[in-house]
Amino acid sequence: MRIDGRAYRTIWQTEDGAEDGAVAIIDQTRLPHDFAVARLTTLEDAAHAIRAMLVRGAPLIGATAAWGVALAMRADPSDSGLERACATLLATRPTAVNLRWALDRLRARLAGLPESERAAVAAGEAAAVADEDVAINRAIGGHGAALIRAAFERKGGGGPVNILTHCNAGWLATVDWGTALAPVYVAVEEGIPLHVWVDETRPRNQGASLTAWELNRHGVPHTIIADNVGGHLMQHGKVDLCIVGTDRTTATGDVCNKIGTYLKALAAHDNGVPFYVGLPSPTIDWGMSDGVREIPIEERDGREVTDLTGRTADGRIETVRLTPDGSPVANFGFDVTPARLVTGLITERGVCPASRAGLLGLFPERG
């Protein structure tokens, strides 16, 4: 994606990276008020970037973990160094399965290699993970754009297609393109008129701060709404389809995504609004079949609920408290939308029903 005329990915090896292996990321904790690039040079830098959400979004977490292993191999390419790197990175965030997927991939690639080769091979594999993510998401974009086109034709020229999305599953959540938003970007390229309803996504406001920022930069018509608004819009025919991302989807099609996604799926079901999920294959957990019972749900610091950070009129970034001192807080990061509420999964290989049979139809090698 382009920012001020320059093409960016969300993570890349720096020009001097051949010397110290440095990797650059966009620091997403500074958006939307400040566009800042941060440099990662150690395993601890990569782990911190994931844990503190300088990078976030399932595919980008996976890509950062892959680069984290590459950085670790420069310092300690021994077997115990590899295991320590994987354990450190795996402990950063529990829900997005792309993290485990990337670490398993790097571990398998490096196993049995001489220590002298590991750093270079790990860097090559991390770059491949990133490149493949871009290709996967572009393909999701093509398949999803066909759904948007079909919705536009169903409207018979009755205005733009209104798409509701939750959290940020755009290019900032991936290496490029996004998952839920890739169809939007491809549809815009194809000239299909559309408009995106952007859920603010409390408590961290990834919709209001990140999705809105990237749609704005790309010139995509959009409107930020409070999290509770979607059901009302659907009742009044103002949403043609929902497209969300996912952090882990079971082999049976249960979709774990940012907290609040389930409520949007319920409202969509009640109002006959199609509910689609942009699903890159590294986000499928083929070993799980009951999302509600099996997927680990991240619980985060209560300050994300009690406090709000924003820019004051004179340009300072400040954090203020919303809640009474002493009131207890719970902060669950994700929820699970059962497969029965999902109209279709948009994968890089095409769109399928949210079911084991549907997924195996596209990924028969997993049967």
Contacts with ligand MRU by CB under 6 A lie at: 56-59, 96, 167, 169, 173-174, 179, 206, 245-247, 257-258, 333
Measured distance CA(64)–CA(47) in Å, rounded: 8
User: What gap in Å lies between CA 123 and CA 129, rounded to an integer?
Assistant: 10
Which DSSP letter does residue 14 get? -
CB of 60 to ligand MRU, least distance (A): 8
55/251 with CB nearer ligand MRU: 55
Q: Nearest residue by C-beta to ligand MRU?
A: 245
Tokens encoding 3: 């920012």
Q: Which is nearer to ligand MRU, 45 or 133 (CB)?
A: 133
Q: Distances in Å between the alpha carbon of 113 and those of 33, 81, 120, 314?
A: 45, 13, 11, 56
Pairing of β 307-311 and β 317-321: antiparallel
Q: Are 227 and 47 in contact (CB under 8 A)?
A: no
User: Please, what is the minimum distance in Å from the beta carbon of residue 247 to ligand MRU?
Assistant: 5
Closest CB to ligand MRU among residues 110, 188: 188
Cα within 13 Å of Cα(8), Cβ side: 20
254 part of the active site: no
- Shortest spacing between CB 29 and ligand MRU, in angstroms: 11
Asked whether 25 and 11 are in contact (CB, 8 A), the reply is yes
Q: Whose Cβ is closer to ligand MRU: residue 88's or residue 283's? A: 283
Q: Give me the least distance between CB of 347 and ligand MRU, in Å please.
A: 13
Residues 62 and 282 sit within 8 Å (Cβ to Cβ)? yes
Closer to ligand MRU by Cβ: residue 250 or 257:
257
Region label for 361, one of left (φ > 0), alpha (ψ between -120 and 50) or beta (otherwise) = alpha
CB of 140 to ligand MRU, least distance (A): 10
CB of 278 to ligand MRU, least distance (A): 7
CA distances from 17 to 37, 41, 78 (A): 15, 9, 22
Cβ atoms 275, 312 nearer than 8 A: no
Which residues are CB-contacts of 359 (< 8 A; sequence separation ≥ 6)? 251, 253, 284, 345, 347, 352, 366
β 37-40/23-26 pair status: antiparallel
Select which of 240, 247, 254, 335 is catalytic.
247
Quote the CA–CA distance of 34 and 140 in Å, as a whole number: 29
In the bound state with ligand MRU, the residue whose beta carbon lies nearer, of 100 and 118, is 100
Which residues form the catalytic set? 247
